[in-house]
């Protein structure tokens, strides 16, 4: 089968299309024919070595496809079923081995490409808005990168919960997408200081929560956008990691909270995994959640997909199609 392999960490040029044997599932595993694999910043962090994986490896932490074969102890899945997964490496390939307990069923009306686009970023948006800081109609949220794959989903789920949403983006085109997703206000941070504008929009009260996937370039100002006892939710670092900072700042700025969550701890049980995935699939079926897939690349163009993602010029979701 064809697969992308990383032999040594580094730039996008380290993503090589190679021929490897098609794997066979162990007793508790499932072999899935991959129909689409999501491209995410965590794949970039694995490729660069920021997040360590044993070498060599096949990247890709989410995908969707069709069950091809099952292990001897698998009773919940049968060949031919449509499934999706997240937080399991190896999706940049024609076939992937997934633990049976990590798979979810994909309704026919959702489609496997939508499912592949939803699993990691969608469940991230779900836990951020439903668990980390459960939004209600009493809250105002600041969402950075509001036109990105995760950002568009966070905006939609935040609005579904009744919250007021302020989004930050870099271009007019991205501002339009964030507004279409439901953002009440969109700040072009390339033209306007987002801290000053957020304070203006909230009459200097600040927001209840900041959802920040950008990191180094937004974190400090984001803290200044919070109202007393507000929460900074740092769930990514597309601009680089946040440097160490003095914790007394949190007291000085209003007894603030800071958290650095991840999906792996918010889909740790099968019950939670199914709850989040089914919530998202139901919202798509009901027309309450729109999945914006911007680009689809052949598997051989994984390096270009990474370059495009790292350029931060993309909107919505990027997929690889084996």
Summarize pLDDT for 289-306 with one digit per residue, the tens.
999 999 999 999 999 999
pLDDT of residue 177: 96
DSSP 8-state class, residue 316: B
pLDDT of residue 238: 87
CATH of domain 136-260: 3.40.50.720
pLDDT of residue 315: 84
Q: What is the mean pLDDT of residues 176-199?
A: 97
CATH of domain 2-120+267-321: 3.90.180.10
pLDDT at 25 over 90: yes
3-state secondary structure of 116: helix
CA-to-CA dists, residue 185 to 70, 164, 181, 264, 311, angstroms = 48, 9, 11, 31, 24
Q: What is the mean pLDDT of residues 38-51?
A: 95
pLDDT of residue 321: 98
DSSP 8-state class, residue 290: -
Structure tokens at 317: 């979701």
The domain limits of the chain are 2-120+267-321, 136-260
Residues 6+ apart with CB under 8 A from 131: 266
Kind plus residue range of the DSSP H or E element containing 62:
strand 62-70
pLDDT at 313 over 80: no
pLDDT of residue 288: 94
From the list 210, 296, 198, 221, the residue with the least C-alpha distance to 257 is 210
Distance CA 161, CA 121 (A): 18
Q: Give the Cβ contact number of residue 16 at 10 Å.
A: 14
Residue with tokens 């009773």: 75
Distance CA 103, CA 86 (A): 8
pLDDT tens for each residue of 269-286: 999 999 999 999 999 999
pLDDT of residue 176: 96
Confidence of residue 55 (pLDDT cuts 50, 70, 90): very high
From the list 113, 101, 104, the residue with the least C-alpha distance to 25 is 101
Backbone angles phi, psi at 142, to 5 degrees: -105, 125
Confidence of residue 30 (pLDDT cuts 50, 70, 90): very high
Confidence of residue 93 (pLDDT cuts 50, 70, 90): very high
Backbone angles phi, psi at 281, to 5 degrees: -65, -40
pLDDT of residue 279: 97
- Are 264 and 87 a contacting pair, CB within 8 Å? yes
pLDDT above 90 covers a percentage of the chain that reads: 96
Torsion of CA 241, 246, 251, 252, to 10 degrees: -100
Distance CA 320, CA 314 (A): 15
Backbone angles phi, psi at 186, to 5 degrees: -125, 130
Q: What is the largest CA-CA distance in the chain?
A: 62
Confidence of residue 151 (pLDDT cuts 50, 70, 90): very high
Comparing 139 with 111, the larger pLDDT belongs to 139
Q: What is the mean pLDDT of residues 11-21?
A: 98
Distance CA 117, CA 63 (A): 8
- Output the DSSP codes for 153-202: HHHHHHHHTT-EEEEEESSHHHHHHHHHHT-SEEEETTTS-HHHHHHHHT
- Are 198 and 207 a contacting pair, CB within 8 Å? yes
Kind plus residue range of the DSSP H or E element containing 248:
helix 248-252
Average confidence score pLDDT of the chain? 96
pLDDT of residue 221: 97
**Over the Cα atoms of the chain, what is R_g?**
20
pLDDT of residue 76: 93
pTM of the full predicted structure?
Answer: 0.93
From the list 192, 191, 198, the residue with the least C-alpha distance to 212 is 198
pLDDT tens for each residue of 191-233: 999 999 999 999 999 999 999 999 999 999 999 999 999 999 9
């Amino acid at each position: 089968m064809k697969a992308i392999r990383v032999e040594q960490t580094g730039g996008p040029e380290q993503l090589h299309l190679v021929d490897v044997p098609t794997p066979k599932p162990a007793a508790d595993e499932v072999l899935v024919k991959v129909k689409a694999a999501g491209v995410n910043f965590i794949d970039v962090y694995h490729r660069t070595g920021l997040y360590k994986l044993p070498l060599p490896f096949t990247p890709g932490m989410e995908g969707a496809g069709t069950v091809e074969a099952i292990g001897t102890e698998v009773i919940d899945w049968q060949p031919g079923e449509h499934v999706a997964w997240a937080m399991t490496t190896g999706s940049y390939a024609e076939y992937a081995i997934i633990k049976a307990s990590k798979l979810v069923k994909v309704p026919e009306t959702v489609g496997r490409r939508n499912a592949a686009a939803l699993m990691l970023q969608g469940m991230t948006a779900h836990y951020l808005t439903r668990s980390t800081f459960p939004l209600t109609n009493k809250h105002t949220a600041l969402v950075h990168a509001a036109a990105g794959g995760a950002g568009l989903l966070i905006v939609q789920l935040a609005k579904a919960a009744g919250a007021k949403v302020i989004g930050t983006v870099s271009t007019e085109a991205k501002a339009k997408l964030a507004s279409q997703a439901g953002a009440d206000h969109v700040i072009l941070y390339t033209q306007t200081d987002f801290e000053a504008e957020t304070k203006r929009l909230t009459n200097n009260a600040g927001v209840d929560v900041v959802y920040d996937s950008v990191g180094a370039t937004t974190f400090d100002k984001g803290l200044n956008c919070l109202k007393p006892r507000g929460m900074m939710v740092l769930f990514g670092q597309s601009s680089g990691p946040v440097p160490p900072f003095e914790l007394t700042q949190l007291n000085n700025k209003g007894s603030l909270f800071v958290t650095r969550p991840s999906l792996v701890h918010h889909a740790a049980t099968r019950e939670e995994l199914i709850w989040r995935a089914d919530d998202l699939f139901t919202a798509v079926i009901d027309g309450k959640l729109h999945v914006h897939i911007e680009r689809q690349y052949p598997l051989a163009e994984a390096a270009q997909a990474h370059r495009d993602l790292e350029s931060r010029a993309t909107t919505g979701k990027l997929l690889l199609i084996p």
